[in-house]
Each structure stands twice: as structure tokens, then as C-alpha cells.
Amino acid sequence: MLAPNYRAVKWVIGSLFCTTAVFGIGLDLYRLLVSYRILPEALIDTIVQTSPSKEAISTFYLAELLHLSEDAKISYEDFSVEEAKEHLLEEPLFKEVFLEKRKPGTLYIDYMIRKPVALIADYENTAIDEEFYLFPLEPFFSPKKLPEIYLGLTEYPKRIEKKELDLAFRVIHVLQEKRPFQDLEIKKIDTANAYADSFGKREIVVVLRKGEHNHFLRLSTRNYEEALSHYFEMKEEIGQDKVIDLRIANIAYVEEVL
């Protein structure tokens, strides 16, 4: 059995203590030199961004959101990744965010932005995604032909939880399934009065556009699927720019647009 080499063990332990002490002294010295401006402080001066989204956010906009402008740079050590992530997720445009600091002064940001599926006509420049979150369309997205949804909102929420919105998306889904041609555009779905207290006022208004002309459909909240099927059967016989009232089953009242 070999006897332990106590001198070698002492040498290793002593070396570790010396290395730790030297590192600690060196770190304290670096901080002291930085505080007296003898050495420059490491700053966040570069942003590298990635995103699976086709339409990405400008680096300048990200810098402004994180207060990393040229006039107000933040030190590498003081910059909080957790606080920055929380701040970005407060912006309605961002769905997911990952941040990481990389020496000497780089901030890496990977993010996913919300995808617009419709516009909320109650407000200007407002889109909504499939999870019903609201966010600005411009200048982050190129112009898109998206259906407008009008709900009669009185407040601007972060996320909409209303049965009128659920109904509007169900109508859009039915239209997308039933339309057999590509030249028909869903312009607007108005469900503001779909659940009005008065049954006589309840209706869904759908605006469909073909070329330069519109069809204004008035549908019942209860039998809108049947009414839309009826419309597609007769649409070629209806003139342009017409109001088609389909609220009564199997009956269509066609009027000129006033």
C-alpha cells in the first residue's frame, strides 16, 4: 500500500488557494480601475437578433425598447437579462423571447412575433392573432388583405375575450370552407349586434368583395351557416353592390345599396 504524498497534496491545495486569491485580487483591481475610469467599462454595444418570423423587427427598434441607445449604453455587468425579457414580453407584438449576454458586449435576442389573422375595425392599425391578442400592424408588417372584424368595443384590451369575437371567427371559417373560388374577398364581419338584447336587432353583417363591387349579407346569429350556403347557391344571379338579407330561413331579400 502506497503512503500518501502529503507534500504533493499540500502543494496542490496551496496552489488552489493562491490561484483563488490572485483571481480575487485581480477582479477587485479591475473593478477599482474601472471605477476610477483608468480602464474602460464593458458595455452592451452590440445586438444580434434571430427570429423564425418572416417579417422581423429592426435592431434599432429593439435597442430603443431596451433603452440601449448610443447615448445611454448599459454596462455588461449591470444589464439584467430577466428584466429585459419581462420588458419585451409586455409589448403586445412579442409572443416568445429569449435573451442571452455574450462577452465582451453583445446581447443575443431570439424572438417570435404574433401573426396577424384579422384586423379589429374598432381601432386604427390594430391586428389580432389566433390567440386573440391585439397588436399594431404597421410598421411591423407589410400591407395584407385581412378580414376586418367590428365588435363595438368601448375599451382597448390586451386580449379580447368576447363571444362576439368567437362568432366572427366561426363565420370567417365557414366562409373560407364554402367559397369555391379565389376572387372573393372577405372584407368585414360585424358582430356588434349579434347578441343584442332585442331579438329584432340581432344580426351578423358580412361584407364580401368581388372586384370593385360588394355584397352586404345580413345573417341570423342562429342559422348563419345555412344562410351562407343559400347565398353561394344564388350569388351569380344577384347583381353587384347589393344588400342580401338572409335572416329568415330559405328567404333572401335583395336590395340596392343606398
pLDDT per residue as tens digits for the range 205-229:
999 998 888 999 999 999 999 999 9
pLDDT at residue 132 in the model: 96
pLDDT at residue 5 in the model: 53
What is the Cα–Cα distance from 172 to 204, expressed in whole angstroms? 12
Short-list 123, 115, 122, 102, CA closest to 49: 102
pLDDT tens digits along 149-175: 999 999 999 999 999 999 999 999 999
Render 152-219 in DSSP notation, one character per residue. Answer: --SS--SB---HHHHHHHHHHHHHHHH--SSSEEEEEEE-TTTT-SSGGG--EEEEEEETTEEEEEEE
The pLDDT of residue 178 is above 90: no
The pLDDT of residue 193 is above 90: yes
- Residue 18: other Cβ atoms inside 10 A: 10
pLDDT at residue 25 in the model: 52
Give the CA distances from residue 39 to residues 22, 31, 34, 73, 151, in Å, rounded to whole numbers and listed in that order: 19, 9, 5, 17, 60
Domains of the chain and CATH, by start:
46-113 (3.10.20.310), 118-256 (no CATH)
